[in-house]
């Protein structure tokens, strides 16, 4: 008898994931899928708007990484007016992007990954929460709050608002940096780096004690994609797109504006989310991963000293090959957070950051604009088509959770096959499947947040659709 398990953390009405695990007659996993409702509606919603509104509209896609959408959008609008923005504007945009990376990565590590790494996969859900974390490490949660607040504060001080700012505009930014803001941020950086070092210690301890698990848990071959600087070092705001094959060979570097030539999107009938792939390799051979793990795999180095020291340790894990285990996303996330803090200091110590030259005005000169940044979860692409008046005719967004769609499905399937026993379902099994998804930090709570809470469910069905068993977590 074929049976199906559904894990459905649908706490809101859209923008969430559902995992179905299909069992064979012996209770073994046959196949598993992660279904995601995508926010394609935002693309339609934007049509007919003036292009200059897009940096304000698109951040509403997400309450966690609005700055990434804000900046990718602003970069696309720069292209529409054909303007090379002032260096100061680039620096200040990158600075709020660093704030975004700090707040998002620290939130993920300490709130979502932390319970797995500190309390363990099999910990009772009743203690796998803040109280459990505090009992295990009393100061850690406080530091997590301070780190996230620090990232938010950078955004607030530079851009005026910590969520959904109107700071980046076509041609630059709308205000210069104040001395007070610069000094306040600089003052806090060293303390925040110390906090992140504690996180790295946790991750490194976990890796050391669980090396075999880390190497095998949701570990599989894919390509990797992300931005790098001209010299091949880690880049989050600008640069060129680098594609690496599964063996670690750099097979292509291209300007972001040529993304359509290299990235295709496969449609499957069981999910709204498409499956991006590297066109020259076809599908599924060209599937790839983005985000922290991918960025560190494709980069040759990191341009800031502390992060680069950790980067060397990360690279050693792969013995010259890409690091494939999904758990290593957590480690990579922390290394990037150190980079973001160090890079924020570099920007603030750059004399150009204080210049008043922050905006170039322009008219519509191009029918298309493409903006790409490395959002916390991976490469984010905004592509707009406009008419001669600047009215949006078409929008294409490829978000990081989309790029990682194939990988998240693969991770779920690998872990389900390894750990789920349909005849003897246990909480820890479910947590491992969720944990595989958590490695990718998908943005699943992006759009609507109307209260209508549903519990997390595992449901067992026979092939006729009869409910055989249910596990419920409120």
Partner 1 sequence: MKKILLVGFGNPFRRDDGLGIKLLDLIDDKVEKLKVQELTFDMAEIFKDYDIVIFIDASIEGDEISFKKITEEKTFSPLTHHTSCEELLSWTRTLYNKNPEFYLLSIKGYDFDFGEEISERALENLKKGLEFIKGFLENI
Binding residues (CB under 8 A) for partner 1: these are: 9, 11-14, 16-17, 41-42, 44-45, 57, 60, 62-64, 66, 107-108, 111-112, 115, 125-132, 134, 141-142, 144-146, 148-149, 152, 163-164, 431, 434, 437-438, 442-445, 447-453, 456, 473-474
For every residue of 312-324, DSSP letters joined together read: HHHHHHTTTS---
- In the complex, the smallest distance separating the C-beta of residue 339 from partner 1, rounded to whole angstroms, is 21
| Nearest distance in Å: CB 197, partner 1 | 20
- Rounded CA-CA distance 86/359 in Å is 6
CB 46 to partner 1: min, Å: 9
**What is the nearest approach in angstroms of partner 1 to the Cβ of residue 166?**
14
DSSP string covering 260-275, please?
HHHEEEE--TT-SS-E
Residue 12 CB, nearest distance to partner 1 (Å)?
8
Mode of pairing for the β-strands spanning 223-228 and 467-473: unpaired
Residue 472: CB atoms within 10 Å:
10
Q: How far is the CB of 322 from partner 1 (least distance, A)?
A: 26
Quote the CA–CA distance of 186 and 61 in Å, as a whole number.
Answer: 30
CB of 313 to partner 1, least distance (A): 28
CB of residue 444 to partner 1, shortest distance in Å: 5
Closest to 420 (Cα-Cα) out of 20, 18, 117, 2: 20
Contact 51, 169 (CB under 8 A): no
Q: Nearest 10 degrees: CA dihedral of 210, 213, 218, 219? A: 100
Query: Helical H runs in 244-348?
Result: 259-262, 292-298, 305-317, 328-348
Dig out the tokens for 328 from the structure.
């290593």
Q: Name the residue among 175, 55, 57, 159 with its Cα closest to residue 103.
A: 159
Q: How far apart are CA 446 and CA 14, in angstroms?
A: 8
* CA atoms of 428 and 430, how far apart (whole Å): 5
Minimum distance between the CB of residue 105 and partner 1, rounded to whole angstroms? 12
| The residue to which tokens 């859209």 are assigned | 14
| CA 299/CA 296 separation, integer angstroms | 5
How far is the C-alpha of 416 from the C-alpha of 21, rounded, in Å?
7
- Kindly report the number of other CB atoms within 10 A of residue 316's CB atom: 10
* CA 53/CA 423 separation, integer angstroms: 54
Shortest distance in whole angstroms from residue 309 CB to partner 1: 28
CA gap 353, 343 in Å, rounded: 13
User: Among all chains, which residue has been given the structure tokens 């490395």?
Assistant: 374
Residue 399 or 443: the one with the smaller Cβ distance to partner 1 is 443
Q: Which is nearer to partner 1, 41 or 282 (CB)?
A: 41
Taking the alpha carbons of 455, 460, 466, 469 in that order, is the dihedral positive or negative?
negative
Q: How far apart are CA 31 and CA 4, in angstroms?
A: 10
What angle (nearest 5°) sits at the alpha carbon of residue 91, between those of residues 161 and 256? 100
- The residue (of 73 and 304) whose beta carbon lies closer to partner 1 is 73
Question: Shortest Cβ distance from residue 325 to partner 1 (Å)?
Answer: 20
């Amino acid at each position: 008898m074929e049976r199906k398990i559904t894990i459905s953390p649908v706490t809101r009405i859209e923008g969430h994931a559902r995992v179905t695990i299909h069992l064979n007659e012996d209770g073994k996993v046959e196949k598993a899928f992660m279904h995601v409702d995508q926010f394609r509606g935002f693309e339609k919603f934007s049509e007919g708007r003036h292009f200059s509104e897009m940096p304000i509209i698109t951040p509403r896609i997400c309450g966690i990484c609005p700055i990434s959408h804000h900046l990718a959008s602003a970069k696309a609008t720069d292209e529409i007016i054909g303007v090379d923005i002032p260096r100061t504007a680039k620096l200040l945009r990158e600075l709020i992007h660093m704030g975004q990376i700090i707040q998002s990565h620290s939130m993920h590590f300490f709130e979502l990954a932390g319970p797995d790494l500190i309390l363990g996969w099999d910990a009772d859900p009743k203690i796998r929460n803040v109280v459990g974390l505090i009992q295990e490490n009393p100061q850690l949660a406080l530091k997590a709050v301070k780190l996230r607040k620090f990232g938010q504060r950078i955004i607030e001080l530079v851009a005026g608002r910590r969520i959904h700012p109107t700071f980046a505009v076509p041609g630059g930014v709308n205000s210069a940096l104040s001395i007070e803001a610069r000094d306040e941020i600089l003052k806090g950086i060293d303390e925040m780096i110390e906090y992140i070092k504690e996180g790295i210690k946790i991750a490194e301890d976990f890796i050391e004690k669980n090396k075999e698990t880390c190497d095998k848990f949701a570990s599989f071959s894919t390509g990797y994609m992300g931005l790098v600087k001209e010299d091949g070092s880690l880049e989050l705001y600008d640069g060129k797109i680098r594609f690496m094959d599964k063996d670690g060979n750099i097979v292509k570097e291209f300007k972001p504006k040529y993304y359509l030539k290299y990235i295709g999107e496969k449609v499957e009938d069981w999910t709204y989310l498409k499956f991006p792939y590297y066109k020259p390799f076809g599908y599924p051979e060209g599937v790839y991963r983005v985000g922290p793990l991918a960025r560190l795999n494709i980069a040759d180095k990191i341009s800031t000293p502390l992060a680069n020291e950790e980067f060397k340790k990360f690279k050693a894990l792969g013995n010259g090959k890409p690091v494939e285990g999904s758990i290593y996303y957590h480690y990579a996330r922390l290394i990037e957070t150190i980079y973001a803090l160090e890079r924020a200091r570099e920007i603030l110590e750059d004399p150009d950051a204080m210049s008043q030259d922050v905006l170039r005005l322009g008219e519509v000169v191009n029918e298309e604009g493409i903006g790409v940044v490395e959002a916390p979860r991976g490469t984010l692409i905004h592509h707009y088509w406009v008419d001669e008046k600047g009215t949006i005719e078409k929008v294409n967004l490829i978000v990081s959770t989309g790029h990682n769609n194939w990988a998240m499905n693969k991770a779920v399937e690998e872990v389900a096959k390894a750990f789920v026993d349909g005849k003897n379902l246990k909480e820890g099994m479910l947590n491992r499947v969720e944990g595989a998804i958590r490695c990718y930090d998908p943005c699943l709570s992006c759009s609507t947040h109307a209260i209508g809470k549903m519990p997390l469910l595992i449901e067992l069905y026979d092939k006729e659709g009869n409910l055989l068993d249910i596990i419920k977590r409120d």
